[in-house]
Amino acid sequence: MKKILTIIICCTLMIGVRVGLVSAQTNYEIPPSLKAFEGLSIGGLAYIDYKAGKDGSQYYNKFSLTRGYINIKKKITPWLSARITPDIHRSDNGDITLRIKYLYARFYFPNLAFLSNNFIEVGQIHIPWLDFKEAINGYRCQGTMLQERNHVFNSADQGIAWFGYFGGKISKEYQDTVDKHYAGKYGSFAVGVYNGAGYHNDEENHNKAIEGRITIRPLPSVLPGLQLSYFGIYGKGNVADNPPDWRVNTFYLSYETHLYTFTFTYANDKGCQSGADDNNKEGISIFGKIKVPFYPRLELMARFDNWDPDTDAVNDVSNRTIVGIGYHIYKNNLILVDYERLIQDGGPDSYFFQTVLQVSF
């Protein structure tokens, strides 16, 4: 009896292998019930955070979830794809709620002479700036970038925008060893029309914000990591009556290699997305990271921000210093341990120690 069972099992395995080989060598059609999964990808991004520190006169220590994305993307045709990204958010009463960060269609279209890798996003989409800057920085898990942290704008809004490269893509070697994001050989660009309210709020007026970024990679063969960028916004603050002017002028220098990254940001802004004020604002941000020699999984990072929320006032400048060490577990999964201190003229100082786990799949 055992010999018969053994023969049956062996024959079944051989038939299964043969069917698999035949299916692989023929034009096997996916069953209709599974066709919905063609071109579908599901991923996620989470920041699991622990902080202990002092905010003014208040001490605290707590675990928190500061980001929780579910990225659902679908390639519908060779020229059309879609994305929806629900995102966790802690409300004022402490409950964790779910909101939509991105929900858009993306239309790809052919090269237009020097303008290559073109696509248009429409819906709740990326603004031209933060996704670009965060890809170079790599430590969004620590906290937001200079102008978002100071409430000038946030990272998504409803509108329509055109994204593309200048002159095709940078070398594959650079993409594989340094940075594959926004990999235009001579730079990249993005320009769009947005509600101007951001993804946190509904639009309160009829104004539309014009936003654009242009990035030049001047020496792609000699210094491929060197990029010079400008980002601007022209619009009104998001209030119903007499909305104040909202202007953003950001100049950005970045240099990336497989061992280290350095960036310098200069911001000269007026007003803000929410319409809470029409102050003239100015700030700088200096950021750097370097891999530990002989152990590239380990990386040292540091950042310094100087921010003046009203250049016509005195005693209101803040200085933020961040230092940390990151351990890259696997690809975009990492652990960061850091210290941040905020010193404010005419206001209470604050600081915290932070450990954050970034989970990406």
Q: Which domains does the chain have, with CATH numbers?
A: 37-360 (2.40.160.10)
Query: What local confidence, expressed as pLDDT, does residue 15 receive?
Result: 32
pLDDT on residue 205: 95
pLDDT digit string, tens, across residues 151-167: 999 999 999 999 999 99
Q: DSSP letters along 101-170, please?
A: EEEEEEEEE--BTTEEEEEEEEEEEE-SSHHHHHHHH--TTT---HHHHTTS--SEEEEEEEEEEESSBP
| DSSP helix/strand/coil, 183 | coil
Which of 20-34, 42-56, 184-198 has the weakest average pLDDT? 20-34
pLDDT, tens digit (0-9, with 9 covering 90-100), for 328-356: 999 999 999 999 999 999 888 899 999 99
Higher pLDDT, 24 or 234: 234
Average pLDDT value for residue range 214-232: 98
What is the reported pLDDT for 246?
Answer: 98
Q: Could you read off the pLDDT of 173-200 as tens digits, one per residue?
A: 999 999 999 999 999 999 999 999 999 8
For the segment 44-67, the average pLDDT, to the nearest whole number, is 95
Residue 349, C-beta contacts closer than 8 angstroms, at least 6 positions apart: 341, 342, 343
Higher pLDDT, 128 or 33: 128
Question: By three-state DSSP, how is residue 32 classified?
Answer: helix
**Average pLDDT over every residue of 101-116:** 98
At residue 321, what is the residue type? T
Residue 225 has pLDDT above 90, yes or no: yes
| Confidence label for 30 from pLDDT (cuts 50, 70 and 90) | low
User: What's the pLDDT tens digit per position in 249-293?
Assistant: 999 999 999 999 999 999 999 999 999 999 999 999 999 999 999
Residue 27 is predicted with a pLDDT of 53
* CA 6 – CA 271 distance, rounded (Å): 78
d(CA 134, CA 136): 5
pLDDT score, position 33: 63
Specify the pLDDT at position 16. Answer: 37
Residue 8 in this model has a pLDDT that exceeds 50: no
Q: List, in order, residues 6 or more apart from 350 with CB less than 8 Å away.
A: 53, 54, 55, 56, 341, 342
Whether the CB-CB separation of 134 and 149 falls below 8 Å is answered with no
pLDDT band with cut points at 50, 70 and 90 for residue 36:
confident
pLDDT band for position 29 (50/70/90)? low
